[in-house]
Structure 1
Amino acid sequence: MSKPIISLAIIAAAAGLAYAPLPGVNQSITIVSGSELQEPLQLLETRFEQQNPSVQINLEFQGSQDIVNKFIDDKNDFKPTVLIPANSQLLDELNQRWQAQYGDEPFYETPQPIAKTMLVAVSWPERAKALFPGGEFQWQRVEDAMASGNWGKIGGNAAWGSFDFITTDPTRSNSGQLTLSLWSQAEANSNNLNTSDFSKDNVQALFGLVKRSVYQPPRSTDTLLQEFITRGPNDADIATVYESVALHRWEQSSATQGQPYQILYLDPTIETVSTAAIVRRDISGGEAKAARGFIDFLMAPEQQAVFVQHGFRPMNAQVDLASVPNSPWSKNIPGAMTDPKGQISPPPDRNVVEEVVRQWQRAN
C-alpha cells in the first residue's frame, strides 16, 4: 500500500474514532419535571442508575408553567434534556412558541405520556361537612365562603375564624390554571369554557375575589399541599390539588394534624397527563439516546407501579390500580375513588389558559 493511501486510511480511522460513540462513555442527562413527580422520580432515578451505570440522571423540579417559560427564555442555570410538565398541552404551547421564535422543531420525537392524575379538592372533614352539607363539592359554596370571609356567616363554627382557600399561582403552576378554568366555567354557567366567557362581569369579579383571598399562592402543587398540612384547619380550610399528591400525602396529614383531610372529587374535573419530551437544544444524539432509555424505563410495568404507589394512574395498560401492592386506593382514604362518577375533561386549550393567566395578572 502506498504512503498516500496509508495516510488517507489513518485520517479516515481517526475521523471515525472522533465521531463514533465510544462504549462505556458516561452520559449525563437532566430531567426537568413538575414537583408532583418529585418523589417517584427520585426513587426511580436511583433504580435506573443502578441498572444503567453509564448514565447519570440529574433531576430539577419547577412549576409546570415555569418549565415552559424558562426553557423558551433560556433562563435555567443547567442544560435540560427532558421536560416533563404536568400535561401535554403545555408541551404543545412550548412547541408553538418555539417554532414561532426559532422556526424549527424543539423535540427529538413525539412526547411520551408517563402518568396521569386529575384535579381534586382536599379539606378537613368537619370543614367539608359544614361547607358542603350535601357531600358534593360546589364552586358556588366556596365562592360564597370567600365573599363572606368568616365561617360563622356560612353555617360553620364561628370559632373557626376566617375561611381560607388555597390554590397555586396560575402564572407558574398547571393546577392553578386548571382550578381557575373550572371555576370560571362554573361561574359562566358554560358546558365548554371559551375565551369570550372571560368578558362576563361575574367571571372577572371572581378573579378579583380569588386573588384578594389567596395570599402568596405557592408556585407548585406539592409545595401547596405540604403547606396546607403544616398550617392545618385554622389557617387552611380547603385547597385544589392533584389527586396523586392528595393520596400520597394523606398519611402525613394524619401524623401532623392528628386528623387526616378528606378528598373531594370535582364534577366536572380535568385530567392531566404528565408527558415527557426530549429537547433538541444543545442535546447530542448520545444524550437523546440515554434520555429515550430513561423514558422507556419509566413506562415499564415495574416503574408504572411506583407511580401508582405515589397516587398516579398508570399509562401502561398492563398495570391495574387494584393489584399494585401498597396502592393508596387500598388504604381507605376518605373520599378516594378508583372510578369517580363525575365528568372528566381534558385540559383547556392554550387560548383559554392564556386568558386565565391574563385575567389573574389584571385582577386586583
Structure 2
Amino acid sequence: MNQKSNSAKIVTSIAIILSSVGLTYARLPGWQQTLVIVSGSELQEPLQKLEAKFNQANPNIKLELKFQGSQELVNNYIDDQNDFKPAVLIPANGEILTELSNRLQATNNAEPFYDSPQPIAKTMLVGIAWPERGQALFVNGRFQWQRIEQAMTSGSWEKIGGKKDWGSFDFITTDPTRSNSGQLTLNLWSQSKIGTNLNSASLNDPSVRSLFSLIKKSVYQPPRSTDILLQEFIAKGANDADVATVYESIALYRWQQSQTNQNQSYQIYYLDPSIETTATAVIVRRDVNPSTANAARKFIDFLIQPEQQAVLVQYGFRPVNNAVDIKTVPNSPWNQNIPGAEVKPNINTLQPSNHQINTEIQRLWERAN
C-alpha cells in the first residue's frame, strides 16, 4: 500500500472520529439547558407564575428558581455556600450588586458579571399596621419613627394611648444581615433619629447605637426575608404583630390575604422620606459558560417586556418599562381600594445607600446588645 493511500485512510479515520464526537455532544431533540435563577423572596410568586410562560416560549431552557433574602443571596454566592451554581442573581436592591462586584473583584481582580445589571421592577419601603393600632399610634395618620420608638421604650400599648388588653407593643422588621428591607428600615430610622443623611460617622453617633440596641431587644428573631415577615404578620394578627416595615409590592399583593385570615385588613402607611429599591438582575461569570449566559439574556429580556411587566404590577411592583401604566393593568392593586395605597404618594423618595453604609448598618446590628 503506498504512502498516499495510507494518508487518505488516516484522514478518513480522523474524520469519522470527529464526526462521532460531534454526534455524541450534539444537542438532540428534547435537550434542555438548565438556568439557575436566585432571586430575593419578594419576587417569588410572580417569577413562579412567569416560569411556565417563559418555558413555553423557550422549550430548550429549563428554569430552576431559588429564593433567598437579598443580602443572604449575595453572601451565599461570595462564600460559595449554595449546593447549586447560579447563573442569574436578582436581589431587591441594585446597590447590593455593587457590593457583590466590589467584593469579588477584591479577591480575584476579574470582572464578575457578563453584562451590566438590568433593572427588573421597582418598589419602596412602607409601614403597615392593623387599623385600630395604627390609629392609636399614628394620631395624625402619618407614619412616625418617633412614635414607634416611644412604643418600644414603654413596652405596652396602654402607656401610649392604646387599650390595656392589647398587651405589649410588637414591631417586626427583617434581619438586616440577611434582608434588604431590614437595612432600609434601619437606614431611614437612623436618618430620622439624627436628622441628617447617613455616613459612617453619623451611624456611630451614640443615639444611633442606642436605637439599634432598643430595636434588637424588641424584635425577637427577625425573619430572614420580607415575604416571610408579612406572612407571619398576617398569621399572627394583632396582639402578636402590630406594626411592620415591608415592601409596598408585598403589602399590596398580600392585602386580600390579611382580610381573609384576620377578618380585617392592615393599613398601608407611606414613609416620608422612603427609599425606592429596584430589583436588579445580573448574569454572573463564575461557573457560567457563554451558552448559559445567552440563555440568561433571553430570560432577563423576557422579564422587562410589557406583558411580563404587567404581571409584576399585578403583584404590586412598579414597572421599569415606561410603556406600562399601573392604573390600566388588569387587576392592578392600585384599583382595589386598598387602605392607604396611593398611585403617586406625596413623599420624598431617596435612592438606596451605597454598600459602605449598608455594611456599617450590618456591623452595628451585629454588635448591638
Contact 1:309 1:326 (8 Å CA) reproduced: yes
Report deviation, 1:8: 9.2
Match of 2:117 in 1: 111
* Pair 1:149-2:155 in alignment: yes
CA distance in 1, matches of 2:350, 2:283: 27
Match of 1:180 in 2: 186
CA distance in 2, matches of 1:8, 1:186: 77
Report deviation, 1:322: 0.6
Match of 2:69 in 1: 63
Give the CA RMSD over aligned residues. 1.8
Pick aligned residue for 1:224 from 221, 229, 236: 229
* Pair 1:235-2:240 in alignment: yes
Deviates more, 1:209-218 or 1:7-16: 7-16
Match of 1:261 in 2: 266
SS of equivalent residue, structure 1 residue 168: coil
Match of 2:78 in 1: 72
Match of 1:167 in 2: 173
Report deviation, 1:19: 11
SS of equivalent residue, structure 1 residue 204: helix
Letter in 2 for 1:43: K
Q: Given the two structures, how large is their TM-score scaled by the length of structure 1?
A: 0.96
Pick aligned residue for 1:313 from 310, 318, 326: 318
Letter in 2 for 1:142: I
Report deviation, 1:6: 3.7
CA distance in 1, matches of 2:101, 2:9: 50
Report deviation, 1:9: 7.5
- Among the aligned pairs, what percent are the same residue? 59
- Mark the CA change 1:199 to 1:72 in structure 2 (over 3 Å): closer, same or farther: same
Contact 1:253 1:260 (8 Å CA) reproduced: yes
Q: Tell me which stretches of 4 or more aligned residues in structure 1 moved more than 4 Å.
A: 11-16, 18-21
Deviates more, 1:8-17 or 1:84-93: 8-17
CA distance in 2, matches of 1:291, 1:19: 25
Q: How big is each residue's C-alpha offset from its partner over 1:291-346, in whole Å with a ceiling of 9 and x where there is no partner?
A: 11111111111100000000000011111101100000000000000101101111
Match of 1:126 in 2: 132
Report deviation, 1:197: 0.8
- Mark the CA change 1:143 to 1:349 in structure 2 (over 3 Å): closer, same or farther: same
Contact 1:145 1:154 (8 Å CA) reproduced: yes
CA distance in 2, matches of 1:85, 1:23: 35
Matches within 5 A, 1:1-364: 3=8, 6-7=11-12, 10=15, 14=19, 17=22, 22=27, 24=29, 25-190=31-196, 192-364=197-369
CA distance in 1, matches of 2:75, 2:202: 26
- Mark the CA change 1:96 to 1:12 in structure 2 (over 3 Å): closer, same or farther: farther
Contact 1:167 1:240 (8 Å CA) reproduced: yes
CA distance in 2, matches of 1:169, 1:88: 19
Report deviation, 1:52: 1.2
* Structure 2 gap ranges (5+): none
Letter in 1 for 2:105: Q
Deviates more, 1:56-65 or 1:197-206: 197-206
Give the total of aligned pairs. Answer: 363
Contact 1:21 1:286 (8 Å CA) reproduced: no
Contact 1:32 1:83 (8 Å CA) reproduced: yes
CA distance in 2, matches of 1:142, 1:230: 22
CA distance in 2, matches of 1:23, 1:281: 26
- Mark the CA change 1:112 to 1:8 in structure 2 (over 3 Å): closer, same or farther: farther
Q: Given the two structures, how large is their TM-score scaled by the length of structure 2?
A: 0.95
Letter in 2 for 1:352: I
CA distance in 1, matches of 2:313, 2:353: 25
Report deviation, 1:10: 2.2
Letter in 1 for 2:278: V
SS of equivalent residue, structure 1 residue 147: helix
Contact 1:270 1:345 (8 Å CA) reproduced: yes
Q: How big is each residue's C-alpha offset from its partner over 1:28-82, in whole Å with a ceiling of 9 and x where there is no partner?
A: 0110000000000000011111121111000100000011000000000111110
SS of equivalent residue, structure 2 residue 327: helix
CA distance in 1, matches of 2:134, 2:9: 86
CA distance in 2, matches of 1:361, 1:49: 42
Q: How big is each residue's C-alpha offset from its partner over 1:247-293, in whole Å with a ceiling of 9 and x where there is no partner?
A: 00000000000000010000000001000111111111111111111
CA distance in 2, matches of 1:299, 1:8: 50
Report deviation, 1:22: 3.8
SS of equivalent residue, structure 1 residue 323: coil
- Mark the CA change 1:296 to 1:19 in structure 2 (over 3 Å): closer, same or farther: farther
Letter in 1 for 2:289: S
Q: How big is each residue's C-alpha offset from its partner over 1:182-224, in whole Å with a ceiling of 9 and x where there is no partner?
A: 001111111x211111221111100000000000000000000
